[in-house]
Amino acid sequence: MIETVRTWTLLRQLRSSVNLSPTRLRLLQDTLLQTAVIHAYENVPFYRRFWDAQGFDARSVQGIQDLARIPIINSRIVREATERGEFVARNGEAASHNFLYTTGSSGFPLAVCRRAEEVRLWQAGGLRTYFEHGFRWHHKKVQFATQPGVSHFLQRMGISRTTWISPELPTEEQRKIFLETKADWVIATPTVLRRLIKALMATGGRFKQPRAVICQGELLDAETRKTIECVFGSTPVDLYTLTEVGYVAWQCERREGLHVNADTHLVEIVRDGGAARPNQLGKVVVTDLRNRTMPFLRYDTGDLAIAATGPCPCGRPLPRLASIEGRLRTSILLNDGQILTTRAIVDHLAGVLRLNEYRLHQEITGRFRLELSRAATLADETHGHEQTEARSRDVILRHLRKLLGDVEISIETVGPFPECGEKTHPIVANIPLSIS
């Protein structure tokens, strides 16, 4: 009961922050950043060692005007510091009984340690987004996750029920549980939703249309968004979440970019050593303002995003991201130096190929190999044999060259492929990329 009251109090505070004026939000951010930096320097061995070696004076930070002076860290640096036992605040590990585990999609799986108050903040951050979209305590949720979350007091009383479904269950079992739940809210990765939708369409029958569908944990491509809208009758809400830092940004009812949770996180889109210009692509660097056990300060997430322009038409004053574009390591480099992101590639190919029916490999800058599953056909065709296959390859090649330019492209038939998701990507880039 006490934890529920604490979570409710925190939720009220976070909800009131959504409409803070830019001046009040800046003052809050200045205080939180200064506190986070001093805490990290004094209590986390890694930061003291790393910042001293970089010549950075933690005590000189007065607010977010000093953010760019803080050295950037990345997943490799964090993993190595964690292995040395340097990344957890003193007494933090002993005080914590909660661990979250990254998928290792960046190549470095990580156990993230959280104290009870940080878990509470994580829960309240998610609930804030839900309430912004009309969530009420009597609504029922179904959430797909390998490990179920911790239930709160209201749920133990039968209110605000959440049914947890493991994506590792057989798809048919997931479908049955989903149908039995008759949930108002569905929360899952795009991969899980594609699999669920395929099972629902295969068996037919009617089911309760949810009030809202929340997508998190992966890139939500345009084709999957359209499919969710068609089947569930609800435009999905895209959340940008990271195991390392929690809920970072979310779409409002306008679905025009993503609002940053600026009272809990600072998000920079970095390009050419500084802030990206509006509509410019850059790497996502996140600073968690409130986590104290394993603080991630100026953390290069490995993701790419496009910087937004101007305020959101919804009227909320929170800063925005125009879009999340996918991971840098699954982007490709063209001959002219342009970077094509996962979103740009997947959305372009949706015109001729279905996601999960291909893998695009970049072998060198001007040479690509497209692998097609044996079941692959043109997106607008469902019949035909030899003529369709020949025509398909010709259409696919022309479509690819519109995106890639005059490059060498070979096509092979392989497969079937595992479901695209956090660990399995439709783009395989063999050229190391960097975006300064």
Q: Tens of pLDDT along 205-229?
A: 889 999 999 999 999 999 999 999 9
How many angstroms separate the Cα of 392 from the Cα of each of 346, 386, 396, 400?
17, 10, 6, 12
> For tokens 């003529």, what's the residue?
387
Q: Supply φ then ψ for residue 33, to 5 degrees.
A: -65, -45
Q: Is the separation of the CB atoms in 431 and 364 below 8 Å?
A: yes
- Residue 221 CB burial class (10 angstroms; 0-12, 13-18, ≥19): buried
Task: Return the H-helix or E-strand segment holding 237.
Answer: strand 237-242
pLDDT exceeds 90 at position 111 = no
Class of domain 331-429: alpha beta
Give the model confidence (pLDDT) of 409-425 as tens digits. 999 998 788 777 655 68
pLDDT value, residue 332: 95
Instruction: Retrieve residue 382's tokens.
Output: 């469902």
Predicted pLDDT at 83: 92
387 — pLDDT class (breaks 50, 70, 90):
very low
**In the predicted model, is pLDDT for residue 109 greater than 80?**
no
Helix axes 222-232, 342-349, angle to 10 degrees: 60
Give the H or E element holding residue 11.
helix 2-17
Domain 1-134+211-328 grouped into CATH 3.30.420.40: no
134-193 pLDDT tens trace: 999 999 999 999 887 766 555 666 667 899 999 999 999 999 999 999 999 999 999 999
* Least confident window among 12-21, 95-104, 136-145, 294-303: 95-104
Domain ranges of the chain: 1-134+211-328, 331-429
**How confident is the model at residue 107, as a pLDDT?**
55
pLDDT higher than 60, residue 380: no
Section 347-359 average pLDDT? 91
Provide mean pLDDT across the span 372-387: 59
Q: Please work out, in degrees rounded to the nearest 5, the angle formed at the alpha carbon of residue 398 by the alpha carbons of 393 and 401.
A: 120
Exposed (0-12), middle (13-18) or buried (19+): which is 231, by Cβ within 10 Å?
A: middle
One DSSP character per residue, 92-156 reads: HHHH--EEEE---TTS---EEEE-HHHHHHHHHHHHHHHHHTT--TT--EEEE-SSPPPP-HHHH
